[in-house]
Chain A
Amino acid sequence: MRAEPVFNTFRRQPLRPFYALREFQVGLAILVVLSAVAAWVVWRGAHPDPHLFAVPEKLLADNHLTVYQRPFQPWVEPGSAAATPAAPRLDPFPAAVTADGWRVATPPQTFDDSNLYIKIDGRESFYKNYGFKRLDFLSLAAGGASIDIELYDLGKTENALGAFCGEISDPQTAVTVAPSGLWYISRNSGFVAQGQHYVRLIGSDDNDTVRQKLVSLKDAFLASLPGEPLPWAYGVLVGQLHINPAHIQYAAENAFSFGFADQFYSATVPKSDLEIFVSRRANAAEAGQLAAKLVAGFADFGQKLPGPAPLVHNDYTGQVDGARAHGAYVLGVRFAKSAEEATGWLDKLQAALEQQ
């Protein structure tokens, strides 16, 4: 190893002969500048940007995003009792649809406004007019026979009944009034309206097997579908006047092609053209106005008959129409053969309303 110093051991020995006071003065000026730099750095350090370290508290605003959490799935041992009902889920159909040896041929399908046409192309406007919300479809099969179940949710009881009645083509159809719904079964099909639901059951064959199943399905739906007591008008028309519910129609709006007329129950009297109608309004004044409007509307097609009765002779059909208010109700008659017949039905209606 070479003996050589590791570090610089020389003392700095300036060789210059002269020194100037100006150097010292410039040096002092440099010290002043350095002190200013140091002071500025210290000042900057004492004034931090407050936004660097925290968010202003007012900005911790509520975040209203909600997150869907998939439900917890517990362990189910395959083959155990708990595992069996994991077979096709039938909601919203009652579990009894698979009773009596019937099995699910097509699992439940659901249609809404946007895709209803896939199921019933061409006829969807009928249901949409009755406040269509959704259709659940299920097909059952047993042996060679099958039953298609269409369960319509129409939002309101009136809509369901309206659709139910609107689809009855044969005026002689015997409709049965259940406490909170209507139903009838004809040959290989059955129809139920209860609550806001309307059920169509279409069997493939006209035989006993199918018909028995239709009856039990009808019972199952009447038992399972939520329903409330039937609308008030059924009390009057069916209960008092004994009119077959099949003949009752409900017009949610645009009754008799009048834009102003809504929520009307109407019924065709059997074995005649005559139609009676009734509607409940908020109060007597409103009922009076609506009745007057109706009479004025009828008068567009004919002439008001003289006398106090609010009757109009229709120039085109030669029949008599009329409407009047009774309390908060509007009641009326259309297509009467004569003024007398019209007045008679108006009085009958009024009596029935008073009875109720």
Chain B
Amino acid sequence: MNEEQQAKAQARRENAASPRVRHPEDWPSRRAFIKRVGATVLVAGGTGLLWQALRDPDGERGKPQPPTFHLKDYRLTPPNGAKVLGVAHGENFEAMLKMAIGAIGGLEHFIRPGDVVLVKPNVAFDRAPKLGATTNPAVVAALIRLVWAAGAAEVRVADNPIESPENCFAKSGIADATHANGAGLYLPSPTSFETLQVPGAKLIASWPFFYRPFHGVTKVIGVAPIKDHNLCHASMCTKNWYGLLGGRRNQFHQDIHNIVADLALMMRPTFVILDASRILMKNGPTGGDLSDVVPGHTLVAATDQVAVDAYGYSQLLGRKGDLPRYLDNARDRGLGNPDWRSLPIKEEQVG
């Protein structure tokens, strides 16, 4: 053992024997003391306050609270002498729309300068326009032009199709009809849905709704094709609103007749157009074959969407027997009158 090591061993023994004493000069300064202890107290206290603020004793606060909203009632009182249904037969869609909407009160009555107008076609499937599974793009184009001419500040077109939205809008020709006429196209995106409250609805009292295109909208026009439908017999203006919902829509088929009646309650449009330029007679609602489609040469405008559906069912689809039950349900809930024969109607050949 050399000298250095011996000295170290000696020092260790002595140090271990001596008492632990902190010399006053080793204490931090008062300022340093306050800073260090203060920091610890601050962090500890802050944590306590934060935890108190976040307290959730029964777990209720922690549950997600999605933002909810209500839809407006977009209806207007029709002018005196206006019919409930305006039926136009012909080939020139713009003239037919003018006639049909004129019969139910006139576009100038419904669309005022500065209105933000949403046009809701049915673009549910990726189909060529000729196959009749989607709204005729020429009708949508004519409607957009008329709405612009009536002084609308903004025209929007929106739908949440069943198949890929991009494909549906492109191949049905609605995307072109929208862009070519200067309207805005709204496709669904993950953030464009919010929970809609529909007081009085049986099944969709609270349901994800394609909200984004409705922001700031003052008028809503539905323009729906007339189609065969196995489960609910026919898909027309009321069923068209299905395309504004999100979420697990595929559950609706379990009670389709109450759902469609709920849709009539959910959306009270300014007016609706039933596009019977082509009629999908069978294999609906997808179609897929020209033999399923017959030309209809007819557009119907209406302020009562239940009446126009009943009219289309018996007059345009030519179905015998009882109306689809959803129309009866809608009548029972005061949402419209399926007895269209008792309502004022104007029918004309245009051009």
Interface residue ranges, A against B (CB under 8 Å):
53-55, 57, 60-64
Contact = CB atoms under 8 A, between A and B. Distances in A.
A57 B289 contact: no
Contact of A57 (B128, B170, B171): B128
Nearest to A60: B290
B96 interface: no
A250 B170 CA distance: 71
Contacts of B290: 60-62
Interface string B109-148: 0000000000000000000101100000000000000000
B289 A60 contact: yes
A53 B128 CA distance: 10
B47 interface: no
A53 B170 CA distance: 9
A63 B130 contact: no
Contacts of A60: 128, 130-131, 289-290
A16 to B, nearest CB: 52
Nearest to B173: A54
B291 A62 contact: yes
A192 to B, nearest CB: 40
B130 A53 contact: no
A54 B171 contact: yes
A63 B291 contact: yes
Main secondary structure of the interface of A (DSSP, over half): loop
Nearest to B167: A53
Contacts, number: 19
Given A53-B170, A53-B171, A60-B130, 5 more contacts: A54-B171, A57-B128, A60-B131, A60-B289, A62-B291
Contacts of A54: 128, 171
Interface of B: 128, 130-131, 170-171, 289-291
B128 A63 contact: no
A61 B130 CA distance: 11
A57 B291 contact: no
Contacts of A62: 289-291
A63 B288 CA distance: 9
Contacts of B130: 57, 60
A211 B130 CA distance: 68
B171 A63 contact: no
Contacts of B170: 53
A62 B130 CA distance: 12
B154 to A, nearest CB: 29
Nearest to B127: A60
A61 B131 CA distance: 11
A55 B171 CA distance: 10
Closest 9 CB pairs of A and B: A62-B291, A63-B289, A60-B290, A62-B290, A63-B291, A60-B130, A54-B171, A60-B128, A57-B130
19 contacts: A53-B170, A53-B171, A54-B128, A54-B171, A55-B128, A57-B128, A57-B130, A60-B128, A60-B130, A60-B131, A60-B289, A60-B290, A61-B290, A62-B289, A62-B290, A62-B291, A63-B289, A63-B291, A64-B291
Nearest to A57: B130
Nearest to A63: B289
Nearest to A56: B128
Nearest to A69: B230
A60 B291 CA distance: 9
A321 to B, nearest CB: 61
Contacts of A61: 290
A51 to B, nearest CB: 13
A147 to B, nearest CB: 43
Nearest to B171: A54
Contacts of B291: 62-64
Contacts of A64: 291
Contacts of A63: 289, 291
A276 B289 CA distance: 63
A49 B171 CA distance: 15
A55 B289 CA distance: 12
A109 to B, nearest CB: 36
Nearest to A61: B290
Contacts of A57: 128, 130
Contacts of A55: 128
A80 to B, nearest CB: 23
Nearest to A55: B128
Contacts of B171: 53-54
Contacts of B131: 60
A264 to B, nearest CB: 49
A59 to B, nearest CB: 10
A334 B170 CA distance: 84
Contacts of B128: 54-55, 57, 60
Nearest to A62: B291
Nearest to A67: B283
A64 B289 CA distance: 9
A46 to B, nearest CB: 17
